[in-house]
Structure 1
Amino acid sequence: MSAADFGRLIHISKRRERAKEDAEQQKKKLEEEKERLGREINEKFTSNAESEEVTKPVSTSGGLVTLGEMKEKHKAIQQAGDDVITGKREERERLEREKKKQEEEKTVSQKRMLSFNFDEDEEEDAPPIPKKRLGMDPTVDTSFLPDKDRESEDVKKREELVKEWRALQEKEKNEFLTISYCYWDGSAHRKEMKVKKGDTIQQFLTKGLEVLRKEFSELKPAGVENLMLIKEDLIIPHFYTFLDFTATRMRGKTGPMWVWDAAGEIRVRQDAALDIGEAHPAKVVLRSWYEKNKHIYPASRWEAFQPKKEYRRVIDDLSTL
C-alpha cells in the first residue's frame, strides 16, 4: 500500500467518526425535545382535572352512602371534568337543542300538510279543498279538449248505468215463464211447466224429464244429454236461456221464438207468407228417435239453431207440408 492510499484511508475513517458523533448529538436533541413536549402535554391535560377533583370533593353530607352511590358520584365528577377539559359539554348541549328544534319543526310541517287550517283541533276533520280552474273562458266551446272532471263524471255515469242494467237483468231473470211443451214420439203429449227466464234449456229438460219418466218407460234410462228441445223447427242447444230469446224477440222458421205459452199445435194456414204471430209448443225429443226419423216429416224440417241467421216463413215451405 502506498503512502497516498494510507493517508486516504485515515481521512475516510476520521470523516466517518465525525458523522457518527453528529448523528448521536441529533438523536440526543430529539429525545430531549420529545421529553419536554410530553411534560408540557401532561401538564395541560392533568392540571384542570386535578383542580376539579380538589375543588369538588365527594359530598357525603347526607350521611353514609353505599359503594354504588359513591361510584356514581365519582363517575359524574369525572365526566364533568372530562367535559370541561375537552369542551364537549357545550357541544353536546348545542346538538341536543338543535335536534329538539328540528323535531318540533318536522311535527309542525306534517300537521300543516293535512289542511290549510292551522287550528290543531280542526286539522284532522278538515275536508280537502278542491282546486279551482282559472283562466278559462266560459263562452268558448271546449268540449273537444280533454277534461278530467268531465271524464270522471262520464265514468261515474257509465258505472251507474251498468249497475242499473245489471239490476234490471237480475230482476228479469227471476221472472217466471209458463212453458208449453210436449214429448214428441210421433204424436204430441201436451204439458206445461213454470220456469224462470234465467233458467237454461238444460235446467228445463232436467225438470221435464222427472215428470215425463212417470208416463213414458223409454225415458227412464235416458239422461238430459239424450234429449233435444225443438222450438219453431229449430234445435236449441242446451246452454241457451229463455231470456236470450225473449229479450231479442227472435223468430224461428214457423213462428216467434219468444212466445213459449203457445195455445196449441198450429201449422201454416193458406198463405205461408202471412205472419199471424202464433207459435208452436216446444217439443222434447229423444235424440235416438230423431236420428231414426230425421228424414220423415216433421223431423225433416228441423235444423240446428244459428243465432245470426234470420228465419222467415216463405211460400216454399208449403212444399214440405
Structure 2
Amino acid sequence: MAQYKGAASEAGRAMHLMKKREKQREQMEQMKQRIAEENIMKSNIDKKFSAHYDAVEAELKSSTVGLVTLNDMKAKQEALVKEREKQLAKKEQSKELQLKLEKLREKERKKEAKRKISSLSFTLEEEEEGGEEEEEVAMYEEELEREEITTKKRKLGKNPDVDTSFLPDRDREEEENRLREELRQEWEAKQEKIKSEEIEITFSYWDGSGHRRTVKMKKGNTMQQFLQKALEILRKDFSELRSAGVEQLMYIKEDLIIPHHHSFYDFIVTKARGKSGECSWPGLPMAACC
C-alpha cells in the first residue's frame, strides 16, 4: 500500500536549506572578521609610518635654524631618516631580546616546577645544561640593560647644532656680568684720568671793556670753582669785586650762559654746541661779569 511522504521530504529539504544558510552566514562572518583584521593591521602600519615621519619632521624643524639651501635640507632630512630607522631597528631588536628573555624565563620556571614535582635526582649533564641556560639568560639581560642605557643617554643628550643662545644660562650670565663690571671699572678709571687733566683757560672780565687773564683748572672742576678762582685773581686789580661773591658772576662761553653746577668735563665729553656751532674747549675767550 502506497504512503504519502510529501511533508517529510519538504521538512528535510527545509532543514537542508537552513543548514546551508547557516553555513553561508558563518562564512560571511568569518570573511567580515578577516577583512576587519586586515584593515586594523593596515591602519597600524600607516600609524607607524606616519609617527615615524612625524618624528623626523619635528626633529628636522627643531634642528634647522635660519635659511638653508635645498641640498643641505635634503641631506639633513636623509640623515634624520636614517637615524630614526636605526632607533626603530634597535627598538625592535630590544623587543626581540625581551621576548627571548621571557621565553627563557618561562622555560626555567617550567623546569623548576618539574624539579619540585619530581623526586628524582639531577644528573651532571642536566646541571650543566641548566647552567648554560642561566648564562644565556644573564647575557640577554645584560644586553637588554645596555640597550636601555644607550636609549636613555640618547634621549637626555643635547643637539650641538641647535642655537641655545636665547635660553637662560647661569654660567654665561655670570661671565657677562663679570665682563660688564670690568668694563665699567675700566671706563670709570679712564674718565677720572680725563677729569684730573689740567687745562689753561683764558678768560676776560667784562666791565665795559675786556680784561684778559689766564688760570689753570682741571677738566673735572665745576664752573663755580672756576669763577671762585677767577674772582680771587681779579680782586687784586678790581676793588669793586672784593665784596662780590661767585653767585653774582656769570660764565659765558660764546653765545652760551653756563650754569655753575656744570663741569668742563661735561661739555668736553658731550661736545656741546651753541647757536653758532660747536664750542671749543678750552681755547676761545671766556667772560665772567657781574
Q: Normalization by structure 2: what TM-score?
A: 0.45
Greater helix fraction, Structure 1 or Structure 2? 2
Q: Which of 1 and 2 has greater Rg?
A: 1
Q: Normalization by structure 1: what TM-score?
A: 0.41
